[in-house]
Amino acid sequence: MTGKTQSTDQALAGKVALITGGGRGIGRAIALAYADADADIAVVARTQPQLDEVVGAVESLGRRAAGFACDVTSYDAVKEMVSMFRSKFDRLDILVNNAGGILDQGSIVEGDPEVWISGIELNLYSAYFVSRELLPIMIESGGGKVINMSSNQGRTPGPGVYRVGKAALWMFTQSLSMEVWQHDIDVNELIPGPVETYLTRGLMKVGETATFAASERVKPPKDVAPLALWLVTQPEGGPTGQSFSLVRRPI
């Protein structure tokens, strides 16, 4: 049984999932949750040791796994990664565009233009590059699910390119959903809320109240996985072009 819970056991049997930013944090938690539900897993990250650890953890659950070191902000690197993916897997059913992050919270007037360019590349272009190259495989596979990992900051004005990138990702989610629904592909946004990860450690601590809202409890990455699993186990013709949030206050 490999320790699976009855509610998720074999829910993704026969499926292949690819998760970007899958070497740690939320991406790693989702990869393991999908593997626990019997999916085969491809993880994409920049750091090989992290990839190796996740691949080993997936294989310990009895599933096939592969890790691909790739800078998803580079279109050429993404194309090379997809070529390697095709050499190891013959289908794709689930894509989680999880790569992203806060590079700077500088204002529009005072922020570094190069940082702003990098921020848009990380939080928007990466999802576009990966989706553009992998969606043909998903179409060939007969359909699937795409999750774009976003943030409630993409709904609220304030300083920093992160907000702008995530706001653009929300429109990308809606636009892509209108393009691919006829291929039985659902595209949705997942907003995890405050999560303690490698990138937020020192700013957030699991169980504590988030500094930006008294209603928000800081979660561990594994608490995001159930919603990510629910989204990809919805029946054909399920929700698409929608936003699903673990934030407790309106966004």
Q: Is residue 86 part of a domain?
A: yes
Which of the following is catalytic: 34, 125, 128, 162? Answer: 162
Residue 66 pairs in a beta bridge with 42
Alpha-carbon distance of 41 to 34, in angstroms, equals: 8
The answer to whether the beta carbons of residues 54 and 65 sit under 8 Å apart is yes
For residue 193, the enclosing domain spans 16-245
- Residues 39-59: what's their mean pLDDT? 97
User: Is residue 155 one of the residues assigned to a domain?
Assistant: yes
* pLDDT tops 80 at residue 45: yes
Residue 251 lies in a domain: no
Torsion of CA 125, 148, 136, 142, to 10 degrees: 180
User: Is residue 133 a part of any domain in this protein?
Assistant: yes
Count structural domains, the chain: 1
| In a domain? residue 137 | yes
pTM of structure: 0.90
Mean pLDDT along residues 60-77? 98
Residue 184 has pLDDT above 60, yes or no: yes
Position 2 in a domain: no
Q: Give the closest residue to 124 by CA, choosing from 83, 160, 173.
A: 173
Of 84-88, 121-125, 198-202, 245-249, where does mean pLDDT reach its minimum? 198-202
| Section 199-216 average pLDDT | 58
162 as an active site residue: the answer is: yes
- Does residue 5 belong to any structural domain of this protein? no
Question: Residue 161 is part of a domain; what is its CATH number?
Answer: 3.40.50.720
Identify whether the C-beta of residue 190 lies closer than 8 Å to the C-beta of residue 149.
yes
Residue 87 near residue 75 (C-beta atoms within 8 A):
no
Q: Please report the pLDDT score of residue 1 as a whole number.
A: 34
Residue 118 falls within a domain, yes or no? yes
